[in-house]
């Protein structure tokens, strides 16, 4: 299991921010972005906007939102299989 956290810098709406996620989540997010023809930054920004939280980061945790996004994407993939 990929439990080691890795911090990456991403740009969301012109602002740099750091996000810490386990390697497995980074790999799956990259795969989802590739499958959708998006950059990782674009996908992360999309998830961030969907949270409905101001880009100041107050009111929610982007790392958690990304983990839940990956979980939901995997659930959808399994239900189609």
Full domain range(s) for residue 24 = 5-80
Mean pLDDT of 15-43: 95
Q: Residue 3: its pLDDT value, please?
A: 76
pLDDT digits (tens, 9 = 90+) for 34-80: 999 999 999 999 999 998 765 554 446 899 999 999 999 999 999 99
CB-based burial of residue 67 (10 Å sphere; 0-12 exposed, 13-18 middle, 19+ buried)?
middle
- Give me the number of domains the chain comprises: 1
- List, in sequence order, every beta strand (DSSP E) within 1-81: 5-12, 15-22
Q: Residue 60: its pLDDT value, please?
A: 66
Please give the DSSP secondary-structure letter assigned to residue 13: T
Give the CATH number for residue 76: 1.10.1220.10
């Amino acid at each position: 299991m990929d439990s080691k956290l890795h911090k990456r810098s991403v740009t969301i709406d012109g602002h740099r921010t750091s996000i810490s996620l386990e390697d497995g989540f980074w790999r799956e997010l990259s795969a989802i972005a590739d499958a959708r023809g998006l950059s990782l930054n674009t996908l992360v920004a999309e998830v961030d906007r969907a949270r409905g939280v101001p880009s100041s980061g107050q009111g929610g945790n982007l790392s958690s939102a990304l983990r839940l996004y990956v979980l939901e994407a995997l659930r959808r993939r399994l239900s189609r299989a």
